[in-house]
Structure 1
Amino acid sequence: MKYHNSNQNTNSTPPKEAVDFIEFVNNSPSPFHAVEEARLRLIEAGYEELKERDSWKGKLKNNGKYYFTRNRSTIVAFAIGGKYVPGNGVSMAGAHTDSPCLKVKPISKRDKTGYLQVGVEPYGGGLWHTWFDRDLSVAGRIMVETGENKFEHKLVKITRPILRIPTLAIHLDGSVREAFKFNNETHLTPLIATATKALAGDSINTEEKHHPIFLDLLVQELGCKVNEIHDFELCLYDTHSSTIGGAFNEFIFSARLDNLMMSYTILTALINSTRDTSESLSNDPNIRLISLFDNEEIGSTTAHGADSSLLESTLRRLCVSFGNENLETIFEETIHKSFMISADMAHAVHPNYSDKHEENHRPQMHKGVVIKINANQRYATTATTSLILRQAAKKYNVPLQEFVVRNDSSCGSTIGPMISANLGLRTVDVGNPQLSMHSIRETSGTDDVGHAIRLFQGFFEDFAKIDQNIIVD
């Protein structure tokens, strides 16, 4: 193996795409914040907001760029090609905004042995042992009363650490040397204060759903009154910022890489491919669309998840809202000319557990985007859809890798199979390689951010041309 000379400068400059992603993920401690960050970037790029509750008839135009949100935790954005006519295809990419986390319970107030605690509930399949002994805080959305019988969704993010889940000292339980075992209900409850320091009467007021000191911290951030808070959805998050590290600045150390990295890359690729100077959009007969869904980590079967009617209803509206066409089969024609990239992070080979990977399918960081394949269709990739992706990769010379799970291991899944099955839509599953998936702190490669952006941009720009040269029917 060839190594760098020891005299080489190790202060390598990380790729600009990786630096920008760090800003994106640090601004997105909850799905609501991730959607808001995406929304602001789309507005800056000239995208116009639509509302699902309104008619789109007469609002959509060739070369137009639009977006809408649902539940403020899912966002869909699309740009209409200059040569698009109803019945043409849609070039799509999808990812998800949620990650495993701990969420504050509806009644969170707890007191125990002189400590004030906040009751939390696990969301998704997190590696919960990684949440112990971390500097934690809360972020999410609060429904605030802003006038008489008027309520608004407000984002909140407390940046300083206010919560912690301490481990038990080894002297009190020597068995942790062999295995760290804990109960999610009794041991995974964070501290917020000591009763000694708490406000007078807080620990014995049983009528409150939440500790007054906890609510006080929220109103300080919002600038409202306690009685104006009517409900909230709050995630715990690690206040330690995402960063770039490694001897050559080659690693990204971050929470929520799964799946904010893929959300960021498809968002950035869409924006790059639809800039005002982009001739490819003017000449495109297709619509370019991205969907960043919520709730993938819990199965996607929600009103704003990928297993809902959201994508189908969006595509149907695009078919009938653009122009005056009223063709009976226009939606079906569109589906069979369309394509979806399901983008979700992939498993990089782990140097300490390399035997957990199938020997011929061991993705590595910096070596390209991973095509995920499973014979039992836990991933939606087929020979045809992977071929289309490989053709798109040629535009920007993006390297690709392949991943197949070992025969004696279980296989995760993505939004790909459910979207493909629900719509009869050609789909490929891909993702960037990472380590420590579902940990509070994950690891990926800096070069792979740019690899994914360029792959997806090439897809948006060239899919309509590629599809003309692939005959399967």
Structure 2
Amino acid sequence: MTRRHGSALDRPWASHIYAQLPEDASITRARASPAPSAQAPAPTDPPVQPEDYTKPYCEFMTANPTIFHAVKSFSNQLEQHGYKYLSERAVWNSELKRGGKFYTTRNSSSLIAFNIGKEYESGNGLGIVAGHVDALTAKLKPVSKLPIKAGFQQLGVAPYAGGLGPTWWDRDLGIGGRVIVRDPKTGKVESKLVKLDWPIARIPTLAPHFGAVANGPFNQETQMVPIVGIDNSDLFEKSASSETSDIPAGSFAATQPEKLVKIISKEIGVTDYSTILEWELELFDTQPAQLGGLEKDFIFAGRIDDKLCCYAAQEALLASSDSTSPGIVKMVGMFDDEEIGSLLRQGARSNFMGSVIDRITEAFAKDNYGPNLLSQTVANSFLVSSDVIHAVNPNFLNVYLENHSPRLNVGVAVSADSNGHMTTDSVSSGILKSVASRCGSTLQVFQIRNDSRSGGTIGPMTSAQIGMRAIDCGIPQLSMHSIRATTGSLDPGLGVKLFKGFFDYFEEVDKEFADF
């Protein structure tokens, strides 16, 4: 059944939004769906109401500021909906069954979830929606403890992708991530999540009164170092540095700010600081995701790129009925490291998704498992690569290509690029348009101007490595790569609507494209 959430707001305009759409060549209006075939019955559950996802999405974004929190939250949600965790270290053949629901993770920072159709046969295809769950940030350095400077305690951090950009100045920054701890009794090593969601760090600007130096350019190593405390002990007879620390010398904890170690230890229930083996912590803007605008038709939040599309993909998977597309595997992929090239083992360039597809194919093979069967499976599959798209900015209309300027609260945008930075082609675009017409979604289109540089995403690398057909699309947002960005209040739900439609109708639509 479609997952329904109580609407938090009275938004009378929401139900009329399609009637208000402008006449724009970049918008593809959904046509009436053709009569469904007997083999693929139309879903009987209630249609997706985009406004139902507004408040839950904001709550998810506020509660899960780091990639580790997001993947853990997605995992917990899957468990609550009957999905079984499969370790990559285990043998899967005896576990995988038709009608089964499963998920696996890698490095606790990437996740793949899948439903196996009740009529699935080895060699049949997979319908996949995949995105990336990492976001721009600043990570603590291996040795984040710094000398006191002019009475300020500072924290050693390094930018991840475009983190520590201009929008990071004067923001209230919390600290979160995972801590690797050894149990002193059993010796077992485990991961604990920590989230210090109050303002701890700040990167202060230089007042304009100091002249040109306050305008930059700025050195990220020396001029964008967060302050986390005050220590004026050097002005007095007793220096804090002369006090004896109860953190063991030579331990990992000794390389980090002592007060930070003690706060984190208290948060995760650790009393022996020497049991902290390592941690992966990052800064994040503590301002919660919230609604804005005269009629609350915006969502303002950090880290929208690309947790927005991952959220919509998972909600769509959970909402898709088991009775639809019963002959395929429905899959969602969420990858780490997209913002830095996807080259690590948990990134989209790794073997993670290919390995899962391989295992599924093998588990249902009878006596003919091998490259031939795996190639058949891939050829019958389709990837919807979902990463956020640039929404049109009314203050900079000149940088957008005419008729290729997506708007907020309209629908998912298909992203095209003539130089192969996106996977979209005529066939993949036709497949998604057919899906949209069946589920009543509106598609937009985006392409960068010839005199601008195109970005990239996981679509080309994933489809090329595995060999499957694919399209690149995404939910529009403003201020991409800012510490705080904007999307429409209906946009999370509009993403759910299209992606659910893909899971529901792909098997039916693919029969129309059997020659491709």
Output the TM-score relative to the length of structure 1.
Answer: 0.93
Q: What residue number does 2:323 align with?
A: 279
* 1:269 maps to which of 306, 316, 321: 316
Contact kept, 8 Å, 2:164 with 2:224, in 1: the verdict is no
> Structure 2: which 5+ runs fail to align?
1-9, 15-49
Q: What residue number does 1:458 align with?
A: 501
Shift of the 202–107 alpha-carbon distance from structure 1 to 2, 3 Å rule, reads farther
Q: Output the amino acid matched with 1:131.
A: W
* 2:387 maps to which of 341, 344, 354: 344
Contact kept, 8 Å, 2:138 with 2:164, in 1: the verdict is no
SS of 1:139's equivalent in the other structure is: strand
> Structure 1: which 5+ runs fail to align?
1-8
1:18-417 matched pairs, under 5 angstroms:
18-110=54-146, 111-126=148-163, 128-147=165-184, 148-174=186-212, 176=214, 179-196=215-232, 200-201=240-241, 208-225=254-271, 226-274=273-321, 278-280=322-324, 284-322=326-364, 324-328=366-370, 329-417=372-460
Shift of the 190–390 alpha-carbon distance from structure 1 to 2, 3 Å rule, reads same
Q: What residue number does 1:6 align with?
A: none
Q: What residue number does 2:467 align with?
A: 424
Deviates more, 1:354-363 or 1:85-94: 354-363
Contact kept, 8 Å, 1:12 with 1:249, in 2: the verdict is no
Runs of 4+ in 1 over 6 A off after TM superposition: 9-14, 202-207
SS of 1:112's equivalent in the other structure is: coil
CA distance in 2, matches of 1:83, 1:279: 10
Contact kept, 8 Å, 1:11 with 1:247, in 2: the verdict is no
Contact kept, 8 Å, 1:11 with 1:248, in 2: the verdict is no
Q: How many Å apart are 1:197 and its aligned residue?
A: 7.4
CA distance in 1, matches of 2:232, 2:384: 54
Contact kept, 8 Å, 1:202 with 1:212, in 2: the verdict is no
Write the deviation string for residues 215-272 of structure 1: whole angstroms up to 9, x where unpaired: 1111121110222211000110011111111111100000011000001000000011
Q: How many Å apart are 1:424 and its aligned residue?
A: 1.5
Contact kept, 8 Å, 1:86 with 1:325, in 2: the verdict is no
SS of 1:352's equivalent in the other structure is: helix
CA distance in 2, matches of 1:364, 1:202: 59
Write the deviation string for residues 303-329 of structure 1: whole angstroms up to 9, x where unpaired: 000000111111111100235343331
Shift of the 204–392 alpha-carbon distance from structure 1 to 2, 3 Å rule, reads farther
Q: How many Å apart are 1:360 and its aligned residue?
A: 2.1
Q: How many Å apart are 1:180 and its aligned residue?
A: 4.2
Contact kept, 8 Å, 1:202 with 1:211, in 2: the verdict is no
CA distance in 1, matches of 2:176, 2:233: 24
Matched-pair identity in %:
38
Q: Output the amino acid matched with 2:171.
A: R
Deviates more, 1:291-300 or 1:145-154: 145-154
Q: Output the amino acid matched with 1:301.
A: L
Contact kept, 8 Å, 1:10 with 1:247, in 2: the verdict is no
CA distance in 2, matches of 1:338, 1:361: 28
CA distance in 2, matches of 1:130, 1:105: 21
SS of 1:77's equivalent in the other structure is: strand
Contact kept, 8 Å, 1:339 with 1:425, in 2: the verdict is yes
Shift of the 465–160 alpha-carbon distance from structure 1 to 2, 3 Å rule, reads same
Shift of the 12–468 alpha-carbon distance from structure 1 to 2, 3 Å rule, reads closer
SS of 1:121's equivalent in the other structure is: strand
Q: Output the amino acid matched with 1:173.
A: G
Q: Output the amino acid matched with 2:355.
A: S
Q: How many Å apart are 1:204 and its aligned residue?
A: 11
CA distance in 1, matches of 2:375, 2:11: 55
SS of 1:279's equivalent in the other structure is: coil
Contact kept, 8 Å, 1:195 with 1:203, in 2: the verdict is no
Contact kept, 8 Å, 2:153 with 2:228, in 1: the verdict is yes
Contact kept, 8 Å, 2:164 with 2:220, in 1: the verdict is no
SS of 2:288's equivalent in the other structure is: coil
CA distance in 1, matches of 2:316, 2:404: 27
Q: Output the amino acid matched with 2:311.
A: Y
Shift of the 172–150 alpha-carbon distance from structure 1 to 2, 3 Å rule, reads same
Q: CA RMSD in A?
A: 2.0
Q: How many Å apart are 1:11 and its aligned residue?
A: 9.2
Q: What residue number does 1:3 align with?
A: none
CA distance in 2, matches of 1:90, 1:258: 25
CA distance in 2, matches of 1:187, 1:174: 15
Q: What residue number does 1:4 align with?
A: none
Contact kept, 8 Å, 1:320 with 1:326, in 2: the verdict is no
